[in-house]
Amino acid sequence: MGRLSGKTAIITGAASGMGLSGAQLFAQEGAKVVLTDVVTETLERETQSLAESGGEVTSIVLDVASPESWNQAIDHTINTFGGVDILVNNAGIHQAKGILEAELEDWNTVMAVNSTGVWLGMKSVIPHMQTSNGGSIINISSIAAIVGGVPDAGGAAYSASKGAVRSLTKHAAQWFAQDNIRVNSIHPGAVFTGLAAKAGFTKESMGANYSNEIPLPPHVGDPSDIGYGMVYLASEESKYITGEELVIDGGWTTH
Ligand SMILES: NC(=O)c1ccc[n+]([C@@H]2O[C@H](COP(=O)([O-])OP(=O)(O)OC[C@H]3O[C@@H](n4cnc5c(N)ncnc54)[C@H](O)[C@@H]3O)[C@@H](O)[C@H]2O)c1
């Protein structure tokens, strides 16, 4: 019996990085998993690969910034698996523009995916969780929500959007505890994923880049470091934890 047996999970941004790692670990732990993303080809390939290794999985294209897209994803989930117990709001985009460099369109684009997307996700699943046995919502924020971003990769809209996720998580945790719905945030530090690769890093160069800031070798995280955190917060092992911030950063924010 897996740690997530009998549960159905929706994961956004599941075609790569932390979202994909979460989907793989959730499937291993016995969850039925709905992988969602805007990147169709990779999404289908990764879902197929998980199904071939025995996972009970399905996928649907979901743009987290679109309410219509959320409606379709929820319908697909209910029709396929009969309900939803876990939501991982993981999809996110990064932009390294400061307050003075960013234009309004830049700001709105980041906010739409990173903050509005998380709100829409919760708004879409909570009514279904309220009429079943509750659920667990895991919002992927960042240490940028706590420390304001790092000089070389920081973005004003990014930090603000992740700060919104941090406080919205606590708001939802308070409001829906009575329905046995738990809401927690994960705050990754530097993790080597597609987001980092697009910014021009390799895992080694990213580790070298952060060796003075991140005390724990190799000074950069793997997607599964975050995926295991998702499993814990999704499972009954964390049944008395809500509104909490799980920082997974190799000790970066200790100084
Ligand atoms: N990599 C890091 O170091 C790091 C650090 C802190 C926080 N995070 C956060 O972790 C989360 C996952 O990031 P990652 O590093 O795995 O990145 P990633 O780029 O590997 O994965 C993000 C996924 O989100 C998808 N996506 C983008 N826009 C979308 C939209 N509108 N709707 C649905 N899906 C969309 C992308 O297609 C991609 O598959 C993000 O929220 C990110 O901000 C990452």
CATH code for the domain in which residue 67 is found: 3.40.50.720
> Is 59 in contact with 47 (CB distance < 8 Å)?
yes
At which residue do the structure tokens 């979460």 appear? Answer: 22
| Cα–Cα distance for residue pair 172/254, rounded to 1 Å | 27
Q: What's the confidence (pLDDT) of residue 151? A: 63
Sorted by sequence, the CB contacts under 8 Å of residue 251 that are 6+ apart come out as 214, 215, 216
- Indicate the average pLDDT of the chain: 96
Query: Is the residue at 160 inside a domain?
Result: yes
| Model confidence at 149: pLDDT above 80 | no
Rounded to the nearest whole angstrom, what is the distance from the C-alpha of residue 91 to the centroid of ligand 1? 5
Query: Is the residue at 205 inside a domain?
Result: no
**Three-state secondary structure call for residue 126:** helix
199 confidence band (pLDDT: 50, 70, 90): confident
Rounded to the nearest whole angstrom, what is the distance from the C-alpha of residue 21 to the centroid of ligand 1? 12
Percent of the chain predicted with pLDDT > 70 = 98
Q: What's the confidence (pLDDT) of residue 35? A: 98
Query: Is the residue at 204 inside a domain?
Result: no
pTM > 0.95: yes or no: yes
Between strands 86-89 and 56-61, the pairing is unpaired
Cα–Cα distances (Å) from 230 to 72, 88, 164, in that order, read 24, 8, 20
Neighbours of 146 (CB within 10 A): 18
Substitution site in 11, 18, 69, 219 for ligand 1 pocket (most atoms within 8 Å of beta carbon): 18
Query: Is the residue at 209 inside a domain?
Result: no
57 DSSP β-pair partners: 33
Q: Which residues, judged by CB distance below 6 Å to any ligand atom, belong to the binding site of ligand 1? A: 12-13, 15-19, 37-39, 62-65, 90-94, 113, 140, 142, 188, 190-191, 193-196
Neighbours of 50 (CB within 10 A): 23
Q: What's the confidence (pLDDT) of residue 255? A: 84
| Model confidence at 196: pLDDT above 90 | no
| Model confidence at 152: pLDDT above 70 | no
At which residue do the structure tokens 């971003």 appear? Answer: 149
Query: Is the residue at 210 inside a domain?
Result: no
How confident is the model over 136-159, as a mean pLDDT? 88
Query: Is the residue at 179 inside a domain?
Result: yes
Q: For 200-234, how does the pLDDT look when each residue is reduced to its tens digit (9 = 90+)?
A: 889 999 999 999 999 999 999 999 999 999 999 99
Sorted by sequence, the CB contacts under 8 Å of residue 150 that are 6+ apart come out as 144, 213
**Tally of domains in the chain:** 1
**Three-state secondary structure call for residue 136:** strand
Q: What's the confidence (pLDDT) of residue 44? A: 98
| Cα–Cα distance for residue pair 213/200, rounded to 1 Å | 19
Q: For 87-144, how does the pLDDT look when each residue is reduced to its tens digit (9 = 90+)?
A: 999 999 988 899 999 999 999 999 999 999 999 999 999 999 999 989 999 999 999 9
**Residues of the domain holding 152:** 8-193+222-254
| Model confidence at 78: pLDDT above 70 | yes
Query: Is the residue at 155 inside a domain?
Result: yes
Rounded to the nearest whole angstrom, what is the distance from the C-alpha of residue 131 to the centroid of ligand 1? 30
153 confidence band (pLDDT: 50, 70, 90): low
> Is 126 in contact with 76 (CB distance < 8 Å)?
no
Residue nearest to atom 42 of ligand 1 (CA): 92
Query: Is the residue at 212 inside a domain?
Result: no
